[in-house]
Amino acid sequence: QQNVQQSPESLIVPEGARTSLNCTFSDSASQYFWWYRQHSGKAPKALMSIFSNGEKEEGRFTIHLNKASLHFSLHIRDSQPSDSALYLCAVGGGSALGRLHFGAGTQLIVIP
Amino acid sequence: DMKVTQMPRYLIKRMGENVLLECGQDMSHETMYWYRQDPGLGLQLIYISYDVDSNSEGDIPKGYRVSRKKREHFSLILDSAKTNQTSVYFCASSLSGGNYAEQFFGPGTRLTVL
């Protein structure tokens, strides 16, 4: 059974800071790695995904994946108050056919 | 406009009553999901549906059942609701059951069981 853990549970940063969110997983056969963002009272929405080892950048957001370490991360450059949200990592593939396992989330607050 | 809809958005029921949560999508997605979200627990998968009448249990199916008779509609049923089923329920859909496909979420239903 896949075990997905996120750290930290919560994070408060000033506007303009670089923010790093972490996710670890337990199934080494996992193949698909996602970050979802959920603003307060809203639906989760896919932010970024990565399917192979390495790094992927989209605007201010970068994902790093290290399958050997069972770890991936999300980095936010120049954090904005609008980035304040619950960030959920999700892992799929391996033994989990057609489904994602979600972490409990990191609550990010960006102070203006 | 690609959309997942959920009805109702808010619901208060008494313990022992039956509950019907409905979900619709207009994207002709094959795969649909029901999750519940509780503080500190993230999204927990209740059921996954790969297509009409092709449903599988997720991690926490006990106390729930589902129905999918049309590709665009997926229902979650609670027979004799319990207080520990108080939660926010999200429906989602994806183009296929592959984990590479983005899941699109509905706005959620906040259920309170008294």
pLDDT in tens, B67-105: 999 999 999 999 999 999 999 999 999 987 666 788 999
pLDDT band, residue B2 (cuts 50/70/90): confident
pLDDT of residue B41: 87
pLDDT band, residue A84 (cuts 50/70/90): very high
Q: Which amino acid is at A81?
A: P
pLDDT digits (tens, 9 = 90+) for A62-79: 999 999 999 999 999 999
Candidates B43, B48, B107; nearest CB to A98: B48
* Separation of alpha carbons B18 and B13, rounded Å: 8
The DSSP string of A91-108 is: EEETTEEEEEEE---EEE
Burial class (CB in 10 A: 0-12, 13-18, 19+), A56: middle
pLDDT of residue B97: 67
pLDDT of residue B99: 65
pLDDT band, residue B1 (cuts 50/70/90): low
| Bridge partner residues of A46 (DSSP) | A36
CB-based contacts of A57: which residues, under 8 Å, 6+ apart? none
**Above 70 in pLDDT, residue A106?**
yes
**Chain B residues close to A100, C-beta within 8 Å:** 45, 99, 103
Residue A21's nearest CA partner among A42, A48, A51 is A48
Burial class (CB in 10 A: 0-12, 13-18, 19+), A19: buried
**Above 80 in pLDDT, residue A98?**
no
Candidates B43, B97, B105; nearest CB to A45: B105
* Separation of alpha carbons A74 and B12, rounded Å: 37
The predicted model gives B13-41 an average pLDDT of 95
Tokens 């930290």 belong to residue: A8
pLDDT digits (tens, 9 = 90+) for A30-53: 999 999 999 999 999 999 999 999
pLDDT of residue B100: 76
Q: Which residues of chain B have a Cβ shorter than 8 Å from any chain A Cβ?
A: 4, 31, 33, 35, 40-45, 48, 50, 58, 90, 96-100, 102-108
* 8 Å CB contact between B55 and B31: no
Distant-in-sequence contacts of B62-67, Cβ < 8 A, 24+ apart: B64/B34, B66/B34
pLDDT of residue B40: 85
pLDDT of residue A99: 83
pLDDT of residue A60: 97
The DSSP string of chain B is: ---EEEE-SEEEE-TT--EEEEEEESS--SEEEEEEEETTTEEEEEEEEEETTEEEE-S--TT-EEEEEETTEEEEEESS--GGG-EEEEEEEESSSSTTSPPEE---EEEEE-
**Cβ–Cβ below 8 Å for B97 and A97:** yes
pLDDT of residue A78: 97
* 8 Å CB contact between A98 and B99: yes
**Chain A residues close to B105, C-beta within 8 Å:** 43-45
pLDDT digits (tens, 9 = 90+) for B55-66: 999 999 999 999
Task: Decide which of A93 and A90 is more confident.
Answer: A90
**Chain A residues close to B104, C-beta within 8 Å:** 46
